[in-house]
Amino acid sequence: MSRKKKKEDSRMVWDALVMVLQFGINMLVPILGCTLLGVWLGNKLNINWLAIPLFFVGAIAGGQNVYRMAKKFMK
């Protein structure tokens, strides 16, 4: 295998790894942010279960982020 081919293969692996990490970050940040907001608001307003629906709101937002990013990659 030539040096150029190895370099191209290595580049493809790194690009795939970066894409997977971006999917993870785009999913985790909204979930974590909404959950922490729910815990904080729940403590302030004395509504302890508020974190649960905000967790699902964060999951939906994260799913939309991943969907939009996947659509860009598919073009």
Tell me: pLDDT of 73 over 90.
no
Whether residue 17 lies inside any domain: the answer is: no
Convert the pLDDT of each residue in 13-55 to its tens digit.
Answer: 888 898 899 999 999 999 999 999 999 999 999 998 999 999 9
Residue type for position 24: G
Total of domains in the chain: 1
| 5 is a domain residue | no
Instruction: Please report which confidence band the pLDDT of residue 8 belongs to, taking 50, 70 and 90 as the band edges.
Output: confident
Cα distance between residue 70 and residue 17, in whole Å:
14
* 60 assigned to some structural domain: yes
Going by the DSSP 8-state scheme, the letter that residue 46 receives in this structure is: T
| Listed residue (20, 11, 23, 21) closest to 64, CA to CA | 23
Record the pTM: 0.80
CA nearest to 37, candidates 6, 29, 21, 71: 29
Domain assignment of residue 39, given as a range: 35-75
